[in-house]
Amino acid sequence: MTQSRTLLATLFLSAALHAAEPGTLARNPIIHADVPDMAMIRVGDTYYMSSTTMHLSPGLPIMKSTDLVNWEIVSYAYDTLADNDALTLQKGRNAYGAGSWASSLRYHKGTFYATTFSSTSGRTHIYRTTDIEKGPWAENSFRPSLHDHSLFFDDDGRVFMLYGVGNLRLVELNEDLSGLKVGGFDAVVVTNAHSVVTMNVGLRAEGSQLIKHDGKYYLFNICWPRGGMRTVVIHRADKLTGPWEGRLGLQDKGVAQGSIIDTPSGEWFAYLFRDFGAVGRIPYLVPMQWEDGWPVIGVDGKVPDELNLPPSKGLFPGIVASDEFDRKAGEPALPLVWQWNHNPDNALWSLTARPGFLRLTTGRVDEHFLAARNTLTQRTIGPESSGTTALDASGLKDGDFAGLALLQRQYGLVGVKSEGGANFVVMVSAQSDSPVEAARVALSQNSLYLKAECDFKDRADRARFYYSLDGRAWTAIGNELKMNYTLPHFMGYRFGLFHYATRTAGGHADFDFFRITERLSSAN
């Protein structure tokens, strides 16, 4: 009977795919950009998704879709996670690869909840609002920091979080979510959750996402067998407290971590991510069927390239967008595609000091790019993307460096460095983990154009930097940057507009625009 249902589901999906007109189907990856650790809910016919952005501010992004394919950022749960030396890049500390990690997203009795945890704050953070798109968000937090937790409102009114690595623990919260309930349930409910796949793992089961369907509880986790790939593990139980039984959920292409979602018409999909080199961890959707009370993910256990869903309209302007830095009355200062590297110093950036320009002013002296505050970033996208800006460097002080970066631990950047009363176009590469000035060209004018191009096709992960004196003729500068996704930063490469001082604070850099395209267009 199970084989018959599997065959029918496969034939149905195959027929639906072949019946569609060319170019009318969605394709995986759904978003070719760094959107990891997704949590997703459906409210009516609208889907909402949260993700991880760690050391960036604002954080805990909320995205919206009506078709599971085309997404736009509509909100952030917080402006800043906390105020400490690591998050403000003070006293030599930083939150790279830390900040806040995987989130949980819920809608319960008219209120939206987005929750996360942080080793940087040492707390579990709960954000709530009645309007997920416009806010405002209210926060409470408590200790300890519950790793990769899944918030769950049970039918009896009790509230829980299931969390942990390997041994997964269920804890009961106070009814108002203010903290762990004294005397409430607190026990490991799944021991060695990865053991249903193997005990020989490099990454034990984590990334919990918990749902209830048709009277049963279902728990989704990720693990990584040694010598293998990221793998989905599924457990189910009749009671939240167990006992739980588990099985392998999916093992294909390393697509894993997430849960499942249904459409208003009754179709089911798993939403998962895939490590894809320097561009980051990118979302996939995978068809799912129910068989004998278990979610069966994939088509014959495989992740399809095409889906019977509407095609993507592209990532502009919902996920990434160009910005001319012109603002009309009532518009937000920065579109939601932008995030600061760590907490910004809001006194040191402006879109009004020189209307039509982003002005970055230095407030202190820093040794290098990764230590500098107020770098404004947004995602790179695959398979190709190019970022361009125009910089007026007339306000730089001696020792200042301003320009365009590709942010990761092994970063690259191009910009204007002011030294000894003269300006230079400089390209810096940190591919070796230490910044090296790869090229320097004397500059006889205050304004110029800068470009960074990224090739992520087939994980080529190559980047080149360019400058132009007139915005038309481009000159390559420095070395090709071999981009590398490093765990200390744990994030795909991002375009960044930066300005920092190495000698005297108080200089300013003016950026006229930032333009992003999904193609490489530099001229030789």
CATH of domain 339-517: 2.60.120.200
pLDDT per residue as tens, the chain (524 positions): 344 444 434 434 443 443 445 568 999 999 999 999 999 999 999 999 999 999 999 999 999 999 999 999 999 999 999 999 999 999 999 999 999 999 999 999 999 999 999 999 999 999 999 999 999 999 999 999 999 999 999 999 999 999 999 999 999 999 999 999 999 999 999 999 999 999 999 999 999 999 999 999 999 999 999 999 999 999 999 999 999 999 999 999 999 999 999 999 999 999 999 999 999 999 999 999 999 999 999 999 999 999 999 999 999 999 999 999 999 999 999 999 999 999 999 999 999 999 999 999 999 999 999 999 999 999 999 999 999 999 999 999 999 999 999 999 999 999 999 999 999 999 999 999 999 999 999 999 999 999 999 999 999 999 999 999 999 999 999 999 999 999 999 999 999 999 999 999 999 999 999 999 998 974 43
What's this model's pTM, rounded to 2 decimal places? Answer: 0.94
Residue-range domain boundaries for the chain: 339-517
Sheet with 294-297: list strands edge to edge: 256-262, 268-275, 281-291, 294-297
> C-alpha distances in angstroms, 148 versus 72, 182, 311?
24, 22, 32
The secondary structure of the chain in percent helix, strand, coil, rounded to multiples of 5, reads: 5, 45, 45
CB 455 within 8 A of CB 342: no
3-state secondary structure 209-276: EEEEECCEEEEEEEEEECCCCCEEEEEEECCCCCCCEEEEEECCCCCEEEEEEECCCCCEEEEEEEEC
> C-alpha distances in angstroms, 204 versus 35, 104, 221, 225, 244?
22, 20, 9, 8, 17
**Distance from C-alpha of 204 to C-alpha of 190, rounded to nearest angstrom:** 12
Query: Locate tokens 């599997």: which residue?
Result: 6
CB 31 within 8 A of CB 272: no
Query: Locate tokens 């979602």: which residue?
Result: 261
Q: C-alpha dihedral over 10, 15, 17, 22, to 10 degrees?
A: 160
Q: List the beta bridge partners of residue 220.
A: 209, 234
Which strand (E) or helix (H) includes residue 161?
strand 159-163
Nearest to 224 by CA among 188, 191, 197: 197
